[in-house]
Amino acid sequence: MTTATTRLADYRPYPFQIPNIELDVVVEEQHIAISSSMQIEPALTTKVPLVLQGLNLELDSIVINGSSVPTDAYSLSSSELVLHQPPIHPFELKIICRIDPFNNTSLEGLYASESMLTSQCEAEGFRRICFHPDRPDVLSRYRVRIEADRTRYPVLLSNGNLVSKGPLAKDPMRHEAIWDDPYPKPAYLFALVAGALQEVQAHFKTTSGRSVLLRLHVENGDEPYTSHALDSLKKAMTWDEKVYGLEYDLDEYNIVAVRHFNMGAMENKSLNIFNSKLVLADSECATDGELERIESVVAHEYFHNWTGNRITCRDWFQLSLKEGLTVFRDQSFTADLHSKAVKRIEDVSMLRNTQFREDSGPTSHPVKPSEYKAIDNFYTTTIYEKGAELIRMLHTLLGQQRFMAGMALYVQRFDGTAATTEDFIHSIAEGACANGEQLGFDLDQFQRWYHQSGTPQVCVKRHWDSQGGTLTLEVSQFTPPTPGQPSKAPLVIPMALAVIGPNGRIGEEKLVVLDQDTQSVSLRDLPRQAKPPALSIFRRFSAPITLQMDVSVDESLQLLALDDDPVARWEAGQRLWRKILLARARKQADKPLEERLALALNQLITSGGESDPSFLAMLFGMPGLAELEAAQDVADPLMLYQVYQSLKSWLGVKLSDPLQNLLERSRLNWGAQWPAGQGERMLTGLTWSWLAAAGDCEVRKEAVEAVNGPSMSLARAALRALQPVECNERDEALKSFYERWQDRPVILDTWFALEASTPRSDGLEQIKQLLDHPRFDPMAPNAIRAVLGGLASNPPVFHAIDGSGYNFMADQLIAIDQRNPITASRMVKVFSRWQTYAPSRKEAMHRAIDQLASAELSANTREVVTLMQPEH
């Protein structure tokens, strides 16, 4: 299959405007009839064809200004409807077509999810509902009438405010609802839901005094699990008013929970559609991390109301304009509500283990790509999380007050339009300099971050003048070649740094702007001493880079104990963990270092070296496997997995008494209601993991008991602690968890993931049985990701030297691609790092990629597989 390439350089404005659309949606038993009436205004004075997109639509009729359009006046293909000579003056175009949502397995457009009908139109799903340009720069006001059977579809929802609803006079067994959205929006924000749903209500009063009705729609029986999501929504609305001065603009706000959904959630104007996993929660059925994740995602979709909906993207190359900015906003929201330090560390860890991995592989791409074949393949950590880091760097360079001045100007200037990343950057800069201040950096050079792929490497060499008390840093930056970009220009990199002495920070923090290939930085008036002071660098992770700098063990231990920046303090610990784990992986264990780190950890526990239990858990956390693989010359995932387990076992024995004391203290807050007690529950899980690995039978027994306890956080922590340990308690705990939650699909996905990722000698056979399990739902992306994602995170099974894990994964992805290309194309990236492995494993993974390449694949999956092939 050959798919056309879409290029940013080819962008041209759509030659027609469509200010208003009226949709009439009639739901029948076997199909849906869609009538779209579009008010069309030509933007050009010359005649040009009107090209509309359409997929799997059965065309009934086309009418212009009340007159039928003859068949020779248009052409129809499998993907387009072209009117050859439309009027050059404004006209009404009415198109009637039919769709079949009941056999739509792609989960795009309008489709059936169990007993309800739901929609997903981002990025290009609206063309599966009706003929339309289906591009984000065509903004329209929508008025939607939905008609359906009253019994089967008692709830009818769309965007905007509800105008009217009630039974049909001609057929009382059917009813209708009419929705009106007064704000122009692109088609990707259209939403429609019809089904037997239960509603939970709340109200929110805005700063200006308007009352907004909040409605959350779930399947029958799920009502008790909605209060957390509603509370999260109210927190987000309050925060956006307080911090950004942005108020909600409609009379009601609806959220629907859907089991079958490719994404986490979707910000459709006033009708957010959520994956059920990110709505239904309380402390008994969701972990602390999941409760925070739900709070964050609810906020993210709400924040899109302004950064994404009121101001949308001109084209899909601008995707990070809305996503990177909104991720930055939801990260800031979570940091304000909870712990800034812990949130920042979580985000940095995620970036290193996912986005950095993407940046260094065959699917590497810029935050603002220059071309694509399937836009769905660009919903990546680069667009979202790296995009957020670019916004954060602007905030760091400008400071809170100047950054917010730029945000206010951006909203004022582009409200109601489809904007670009350049529009945003220039608004931020102009607003920040409104009072005559200098920007402080080269704006055009900063924008290279959007166009250059790859993770920059910053190398720092230090020179110490003990007589003059001057520390000189020779700093260079280099971004490695990535596909299509063999050479890179220097970027604007904010480097926050400070000096740490034996009693803490010396002097003020300094922000240095790196903008040359090489440059020198001097820190003067430092204490005159024989050895240079410790350097705290890239504090708060002030730029998404990798740092190359010689740091001694003594310096890392000093920073771990004394640095006043929590992120830099955590990073000092991460350096020590990496050094220890990588040495063990080389079979050259550094026993003296291990002893020193164990002593430092003991002091953190016993001497009150860290009073915040959540941050203490961060300091005890080891780097992720993906991060460690990237640090190896030849990645050896199985050896790293074994090293993790052996180090946990050693620490469990070495620190047995202090860990038992820590566990005893943590138990006091096990029952505290989230977010209280979260840190203690995190520490409990970590302690269980180390002690269980060390063979502590009492801890293993306690973990089994926790699986049936009142806290999902502790239950999951117990399962994770037992998972790598081959013992009877592990099997007992997994069985108990299944028996308790087998009737709750959202939670049962966790069991599928745990079973699939548990290392067993017959692991692959176990995974095959999971796919045949009567409660496995092959149409639900969550279930697919649980089992196959579990396989990918199970090194002994997935990375088996005979290639059986790779071949099985390829077979499954080929089958999934036939029904859901989006899910398949995202999961196929598990093969993207194949060239980093040793020859035998590399060859086995390459055979699996060839297996994929020889299959009939969707355009989405084909694009990713092609990028991974060595000849590309």
| Secondary structure class of 388 (helix, strand, coil) | helix
Amino acid at 242: K
Residue-wise burial string across 261-287, b where 16 or more C-beta atoms lie within 10 A, e elsewhere: bbeebbbbbbbbbbbbbbbbbebebbb
Residue 115 sits at the vertex; the CA angle it makes with 111 and 118, to the nearest 5 degrees, is 30
353 phi/psi in degrees, rounded to 5:
-90, -10
Q: Residue 764: CA atoms inside 13 Å, Cβ hemisphere, count?
A: 15
Candidate list 301, 389, 680, 729, residue with the active-site label: 301
Q: Residue 7: CA atoms inside 13 Å, Cβ hemisphere, count?
A: 4
Residues of the chain falling short of pLDDT 50:
1
Cβ(256)–Cβ(272) under 8 Å? yes
> Cα separation of 90 and 93, whole Å?
10
Residues linked to residue 149 through DSSP beta bridges, in sequence order: 174
> Cα separation of 204 and 200, whole Å?
14
> Mind listing the domains of the chain with CATH numbers?
1-196 (2.60.40.1730), 311-451 (1.10.390.10), 457-549 (2.60.40.1840)
For tokens 């029948």, what's the residue? 28
Cβ(369)–Cβ(280) under 8 Å? no
> Cα separation of 345 and 455, whole Å?
18
Tens of pLDDT, residue by residue over 160-172, are: 999 999 999 999 9
Whole-number pLDDT of residue 614: 97
Concatenated DSSP letters of 784-820? HHHHHHHHHT-HHHHT-TTSHHHHHHHHHHHHHHHH-
> Cα separation of 292 and 337, whole Å?
10
Whole-number pLDDT of residue 2: 62
| Secondary structure class of 847 (helix, strand, coil) | helix
Concatenated DSSP letters of 80-148? EEEESS--SS-EEEEEEEEE-GGG--S--EEEEETTEEEEE-TTTTGGGTS-B---TT--EEEEEEEEE
> Cα separation of 32 and 100, whole Å?
6
Chain centroid, CA 126 distance in Å: 23
Residues belonging to the chain: 872
Whole-number pLDDT of residue 735: 98
> 351 in the Ramachandran plot: left (φ > 0), alpha (ψ -120 to 50) or beta?
alpha
- Token pair, residue 677, equals 């007690």
172 phi/psi in degrees, rounded to 5:
-60, -15
Cβ(353)–Cβ(626) under 8 Å? yes
Number of C-beta neighbours around residue 776 at 10 A: 18
Concatenated DSSP letters of 522-547? EE-S----SSPPEEEESGGG-SS-EE
Burial tier of 584 (Cβ tally within 10 Å: 0-12, 13-18, 19+) = buried
Cβ(689)–Cβ(621) under 8 Å? no
**Residue 301 is among the residues annotated as catalytic for this protein:** yes
Burial tier of 657 (Cβ tally within 10 Å: 0-12, 13-18, 19+) = exposed
Task: Answer whether 0.75 is exceeded by the pTM.
Answer: yes
CA dihedral 419, 420, 422, 428 (to 10 degrees): 50
Q: Residue 474: CA atoms inside 13 Å, Cβ hemisphere, count?
A: 5
Question: From start to end of 186-264, where are the E strands?
Answer: 192-195, 198-205, 211-218, 252-258
Chain centroid, CA 527 distance in Å: 45
Residue 476 belongs to what H/E stretch? strand 470-478
